[in-house]
Copies of this chain bind each other. A is one copy, B any other.
Amino acid sequence: MTSHKTETTRIEGDTPAQRLLALLEVIADKDHFFTLQSLVEETGMPKPTLHRMLQQLEGSGMLQREADSRHYGKGSRLRRLAENLLLNDTVHGARHAVLRQLVDEVGESCNITALSGSEVLYLDRVETSEALRFYLHPGSRVPVHCSASGKLFLAQMSPAQRRRLLGEVPLKAFTKNTLTDMDQLEQEIDEVRQQGYAFDDEEFLSGLLCIAVLANNPQGGKSNIGIAIQAPIMRLTRDKALECLPALQRAADAIAAIDSDAMLTQHHTASSV
């Protein structure tokens, strides 16, 4: 079926609130005033539904109507919200800075990862300036069993935890090097635990070598965030990767320090003595 409509963006979400946030994203992209009708055409949503959403946003000061009462613009409260979001996001800022510094140092793309559910989530990433590079987005996800950070996360778990997590997802083969046998994987994980670092040697993408360590803060429990260097094997061999380990570990320590710092500050609202 070939649609003859010109919808550019679709409002999606499982709940009304999520749909409203999606609408905000559509609005955020606009550099001009917009009308109800323009949103109807752009998103394909029913008019009364959008009307109600805009009413809510206007009622709470997030949007503001022009004098003609048909053109909407961003309200001061929304602006303030956006400003505060960026202004106070110092944790991300600091992490990103560390990451950038590491990329400068080793000359290859690096990223910060976390375990999210049964997958590894790319929290942030800084690309190398080299022309040849793997382009991967922050926010994307990768299976645990074929990523360097994933193996580190697994290595930290109790056998029971690990088995439960791996039981959910079959060990899918992505390349010839992917470890698909549970015993092999357990053995690799043992090694990883002893070494304190992990490789991903073309186990997820052919031609991509990756080395990772954890940003573990010792006293604050197990805030396990991973940090990794990724590069084409043409530029990064295992040996070369090992040479980068000290720099990588230094970055990991820096990130651990940021995180434990940010975790402690929770009582600024507490009453005066």
Task: List, in ascending order, chain B residues with CB within 8 A of A207's CB.
Answer: none
Whether A153 is near chain B, meaning CB under 8 Å from some CB there, is yes
How far is the CB of A193 from the nearest CB of chain B, in Å?
16
Q: Does A45 contact B (CB under 8 A)?
A: no
B265 pairs with A64, CB closer than 8 A: yes
Interface flags, A227-261, vs B, CB<8A=1, else 0: 00000000000000000000000000010011111
Least Cβ distance of A52 to chain B in Å? Answer: 9
Choose from B118, B167, B261, B266 the contact partner of A96 (Cβ within 8 Å): B118
Contacts of A221 in B (CB 8 A): 68
Number of interface residues of A (CB under 8 A): 108
Q: Is the CB of B56 within 8 A of A18?
A: yes
Q: Which of A87-145 contact B (CB under 8 A)?
A: 87-94, 96-98, 100-101, 104, 114-119, 121, 123-124, 138-139
Using CB atoms and an 8 Å cutoff, list the residues of chain A in contact with chain B. 4, 6, 8, 13-18, 20-22, 24-25, 28-35, 38, 41-42, 53, 55-56, 58-62, 64-68, 71, 73-94, 96-98, 100-101, 104, 114-119, 121, 123-124, 138-139, 153, 157, 160-161, 164-165, 167-170, 172, 217, 221-225, 254, 257-263, 265-266, 269-271
Q: How far is the CA of A73 from the CA of B89 in the complex (A)?
A: 8
Tell me, in angstroms, the Cα distance from A139 to B119 when the chains sit together.
20
A71, A92, A98, A221: residue with the most chain B Cβ atoms closer than 10 Å: A92
> When A257-B168, A262-B33 are in contact, do A73 and B90 touch as well, CB less than 8 Å?
yes
Chain B residues in 8 Å Cβ range of A28: 81, 84-85, 88
